[in-house]
Structure 1
Amino acid sequence: MPESSQLNLRDRASFPSKILMPDIPGFTGQFFDVKLNPHWQEVETESYAWFKTYEIRSGSRGQDLCDTGLGQMAALVYPEADLLHLRPSMDFVIWLFAFDDLFDEGELRSDISGTRAAINNALDVLRNPDTAKPNSRAATSLLDLFNRMRLTASPATIRHFVKGAEIYMNAALKQNIHRTVDNVPTVQEYIELRRDVGAVQLAFAVLEYSLGLDLPDEVHSDPVMFELELAANDIICWTNDMYSFPIEHAQGDAQSLVFICMLNEETDLQSALNRVEKLTQERTHQFVDIKKRLPSFGSELEPQVAKYVRGMELWMQGSIHWAFTSPRYFGANVEKVRNTGIVEIAAML
């Protein structure tokens, strides 16, 4: 998709030099709280040291990841984890960004066979942690993280983690295959793939872990809970597609709902961005309405379900808040973007 002729035939140099970013945190902040884990600075140094030991992204690329403040992001998306569970949760966030970058901008970006091999090995260590042999730094570090989670996580949480990893990694492979063909999906096709490649199911399994929950499968299979998780997934992914598009634009990447709307609806970049903003607002209202329809899961499970739902809300708002405080997406201009909404994109061409 990013290398597709349909996109490259559009003259990217004709894009506006500036774009107005919607006030995403302002809107979602009307519905969801933001909270920072008070323990994060106690474990951040250890998490970064752990990441550098495995050199998933070595040298300047690894340091660049740390410099974006991923430790603080973990503290924002897992703000109610206790000290014991925060450290593995933070390691997970750093690992996920590093692993995902291998497909988005690293050596596996256009290597389908390499992507398939890396994913198969990573899934093998999760399915068979006591016997599988990791053959990469990414898989070795994942196994270390997973084994530490297994010490305190419930069997249900471990199952959900493995399932989430399977969904995410298989979608990442599919996305990389799309990068090699001339194919622009419909908006709905993209949304369905984005739900999986965004790794939200995996991140929510870590949410269960971070809170020490033991949610049986029937909670997640409940139709209303499934709808609620899907809405949260969409909000996380669509907001990410809005604030990450300058990077994707600079990389010539079309893996963004903004670009997909622009191509399918044959509109300009600002109109496409506004379209995704409207979709996100509608989805946020839907989340609030779906939450009201959640059934009772019984007196024993109800407190856990309440913590999980609040955790999803904190995850959504935490990730959005972090995007507008970290240099990850807007570089040195992040404060200007946060205050004015103006994003300069010409310099990124």
Structure 2
Amino acid sequence: MTPTLAAAGGPRPLHPAQPPYAPHPGYAPDHFRGPDVPPVHPFQPAHHLPDGHPADGPAAAAHPDPGNDPTRVADPATGALLDLWPGPDHPLLALQPHVSPWLEHLEASVMGWADAYDLLDSPAARDRLARSHLGALIARSYPAMGLHRADAVAGWFTWAFVIDDCHDRQPEGQIDYDSSAFRMLRLLTPDATLPATTTASRLDAILARVWHDLARDRSAAWRMRFTLHMTHFLAAFKYESLNRRHHHTPGLLGYTQLRRASGGITPSLDLLEVASDREIPPLLHETDQFQTMFKCASDVVVWVNDIVSLRKELVAGETTNGVLVLARERGGGLQDAIDAVYGRVGGWVAAFRQAREELRALSGQWLGLTRGERHAVESYADGMEAWMRGNLDWSFSSDRYRRADGVRLTSDTDLVRGGAPGHPDGTATGYARPYASAHGQQRPGPGYGHGLPAGPGHGPLQTPVHGTGRSWYEPARRDHVEAS
């Protein structure tokens, strides 16, 4: 039995305060839910498994091999089973899970972006992306997002997952991390316009398109925050690479700061304002209370990810992991370190909730705030709670962390180096590695998917035309507006 939408402690009543969004009548996320887990209605919390642990009961007894149980992994030193799921009374499990009604659309949109920009190495890589159910992570993390925002957000996550794999275990000297980060950051234009020249790689091209779709109607303050957090995310790849090269497990103080950047969670939380179509007033965004909430939610997500990814990273020889950091700091075993991580996570959840109450009181006293701005604060806080709980549930149901099969989404260093063959400076026009010739499959045409560029008035992505000088991000022209 998988803990896809489960928590310990027995069935709970539905949360009384449900967002006022109508569920999609065709919502049926059965393709990623285990057969023993009951369906979950959009915007309603999941019922919890009655056995006290998501993997307890007959299903677990029939499959003692940890390979069949995503909540347990064998300690490579002792062979003992490590329990990766939080205890039944953990504060993280008190957060109510929600799922967007657009889950199936999001799953298709992720695959559509990857196909249209030829980001994947092979059919096996494409299957790996499909099995990761990235759309389910988005659906759990942005449950109140409108359909008109879904494709742009899905595009950013597709880019983020692919660039993460691009940088993973790259040979020494293959990537100039500083130059790569600088080149990509230049695509985040202050006014969210598309670049005037052709992008240097397919990965650059999708980022340019996604940035335009996400940021064209955002405030200057939002664009600056998102760009800063993207700067941190891109810079962190360099330091993770150094840790791998030198087999170095960083100290707790430094790792805490690095991990918040390397996880990509801070720009992901910025997208909550895109998803809700509401922005928090800049001064409230900088209050101590909001910053505490932001950092606590970020740390909860990335440290839980360290626990969930432990199985894969032990096999891969990864050293930059919070469980390994705490095991070294505490001088104990891995289970002790996992329990210590969950102890820290519980403290962050408690600090988040206290700061949320203080911010609610503060915003109620702040003269000049409109009802809509106060609603934006509450919506953002709800979104951070959705992220903390949604990440936990998705992580244990996604094949991204359950299989250490060595299949990567891409190993094409040109995606991050930006230099086409024969053009090391990355200025080649129409740079491409044609999908049909590389993989024996045809790239989807302009009408593929769900009208990938988000927002009204934007048609589906234009299939790249190689050798014509047309930029990768040029959208197809449309004479009508598709209904959202």
On whether the aligned pair clears a TM of 0.5, the verdict is yes
Counterpart amino acid of residue 329 in structure 1: Y
2:389 to 317, 324, 327: 317
| Alpha-carbon distance in 2 for matches of 1:331, 1:174 | 25
SS of residue matched to 2:166: helix
| Alpha-carbon distance in 1 for matches of 2:132, 2:397 | 9
Q: CA deviation at 1:28?
A: 4.2
Cα distance per residue 1:295-332 (max 9 Å; x no partner): 21553221111111111111111111111222221249
Cα distance per residue 1:158-194 (max 9 Å; x no partner): 2222121112111222222332235432212111111
1:45 to 93, 102, 108: 108
SS of residue matched to 2:320: coil
Q: Partner of 1:67 in structure 2?
A: 131
Q: CA deviation at 1:74?
A: 0.9
Residue 31 in structure 1 maps to residue 94 in structure 2: yes
Counterpart amino acid of residue 50 in structure 1: W
Residue 16 in structure 1 maps to residue 42 in structure 2: no
User: Percentage identity across aligned positions?
Assistant: 21
> Do the aligned partners of residues 267 and 29 (structure 1) sit closer, same or farther apart at CA in structure 2, a change above 3 Å counting?
closer
| Alignment map for 1:1-349 (pairs within 5 Å) | 13-23=76-86, 27-59=90-122, 60-105=124-169, 108=170, 110-111=172-173, 113-127=175-189, 129-131=194-196, 133-181=198-246, 183-294=248-359, 295-296=362-363, 297=366, 298-300=368-370, 301-331=373-403
Counterpart amino acid of residue 385 in structure 2: E
SS of residue matched to 2:90: helix
| Alpha-carbon distance in 1 for matches of 2:109, 2:342 | 37
Q: Partner of 1:5 in structure 2?
A: none
| Alpha-carbon distance in 1 for matches of 2:336, 2:120 | 36
Gap regions ≥5 residues in structure 1: 1-11, 333-349
Counterpart amino acid of residue 273 in structure 1: I
| Alpha-carbon distance in 1 for matches of 2:258, 2:283 | 24
Could you tell me whether the CA contact under 8 Å between 1:102 and 1:109 is conserved in 2?
no
> Do the aligned partners of residues 137 and 109 (structure 1) sit closer, same or farther apart at CA in structure 2, a change above 3 Å counting?
farther
Point out 4+ residue stretches in structure 1 off by more than 6 angstroms. none
Q: CA deviation at 1:293?
A: 1.6
Moved more, 27-36 or 224-233: 27-36
Could you tell me whether the CA contact under 8 Å between 2:110 and 2:134 is conserved in 1?
no
Could you tell me whether the CA contact under 8 Å between 1:56 and 1:99 is conserved in 2?
no
> Do the aligned partners of residues 311 and 224 (structure 1) sit closer, same or farther apart at CA in structure 2, a change above 3 Å counting?
same
Could you tell me whether the CA contact under 8 Å between 1:227 and 1:290 is conserved in 2?
yes
| Alpha-carbon distance in 2 for matches of 1:28, 1:176 | 34
| Alpha-carbon distance in 1 for matches of 2:319, 2:227 | 29
> Do the aligned partners of residues 99 and 147 (structure 1) sit closer, same or farther apart at CA in structure 2, a change above 3 Å counting?
same
Alignment: residue pair count: 319
Counterpart amino acid of residue 345 in structure 2: T
Counterpart amino acid of residue 70 in structure 1: L
| Alpha-carbon distance in 2 for matches of 1:140, 1:307 | 31
TM-score (norm 2): 0.62
Could you tell me whether the CA contact under 8 Å between 1:28 and 1:317 is conserved in 2?
no
Q: CA RMSD in A?
A: 2.3
> Do the aligned partners of residues 101 and 281 (structure 1) sit closer, same or farther apart at CA in structure 2, a change above 3 Å counting?
same
Larger Rg belongs to: 2
Counterpart amino acid of residue 401 in structure 2: Y
Higher helix share: 1
Q: CA deviation at 1:26?
A: 6.9
Could you tell me whether the CA contact under 8 Å between 1:40 and 1:71 is conserved in 2?
yes
Q: CA deviation at 1:212?
A: 0.8
SS of residue matched to 2:176: helix
Gap regions ≥5 residues in structure 2: 1-74, 405-484
